[in-house]
């Protein structure tokens, strides 16, 4: 895999990991809100937690597809100027 794709894949994986941490923190906030008078806010936070989960899955899917991509994309160093 070209160096640039490795870098992009690594960045996607790190971003997914960072978002996973945010998701865990937000899930804790949801639990707190759920047990208070702010239950309507809890529903909104739960939606955000679920949305983050979808984003995390998509980032990981794209990163995995880059890991298995054939080496058909030339690196920047291999490209000829227009």
Q: What is the pLDDT along the chain (82 residues), one digit of tens a residue?
A: 567 888 999 999 999 999 999 999 999 999 999 999 998 999 999 999 999 999 999 999 999 998 877 665 555 445 555 4
pTM of the model: 0.75
Contacts for 34 with CB less than 8 Å, ≥ 6 apart: 42
Write down the domain spans for the chain: 3-66
Residues 17, 71 contacting (CB under 8 angstroms): no
26 alpha-carbon distance from chain centroid: 15
Longest dimension (CA), the chain: 63
């Amino acid at each position: 895999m070209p160096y640039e794709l490795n870098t992009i894949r690594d960045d996607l994986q790190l971003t997914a990991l960072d978002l996973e941490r945010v998701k865990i923190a937000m899930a804790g906030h949801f639990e707190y809100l759920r047990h208070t008078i702010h239950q309507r806010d809890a529903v909104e936070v739960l939606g955000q937690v679920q949305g983050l989960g979808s984003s995390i899955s998509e980032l990981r899917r794209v990163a995995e597809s880059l890991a298995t991509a054939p080496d058909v994309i030339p690196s920047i160093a291999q490209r000829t100027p227009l």
